[in-house]
Amino acid sequence: MKILTFRPGDIVPQSGIYRVEHDAHRLMHECTLVKDTRFPKCRKCASVRFELLRSVNSWKILPFRSSAILEEFAELPPRRNKAV
């Protein structure tokens, strides 16, 4: 069975507890994320990865907030249509 991993900026597919793996600067840890938000980015490394450990009802968890390690992923600006 293939394990799905996610990257910063991806949309969180399911509310739950996620394993967070970084480059060598930090040991693995966990965070809770709410469905339809964006996966956060690491303040130090570009190769942080997320893996769902356990799904949780979103009404039972608080929304993600930036910390010393992870920060919210900035929303992408709206796309402009090029004039033809």
CA distance 62 to 27: 23
pLDDT at 38: 92
Better-scored residue on pLDDT, 83 or 33: 33
Cross-strand partners of 70:
42
How sure is the predictor about 23, in pLDDT bands with cuts at 50, 70 and 90? confident
Give pLDDT, residue 49. Answer: 94
Instruction: For residue range 28-71, list pLDDT tens digits in order.
Output: 888 889 899 999 988 888 889 999 999 988 676 666 666 666 77
CA distance 26 to 33: 19
pTM listed for this prediction = 0.72
CB atoms within 10 A of CB 16: 19
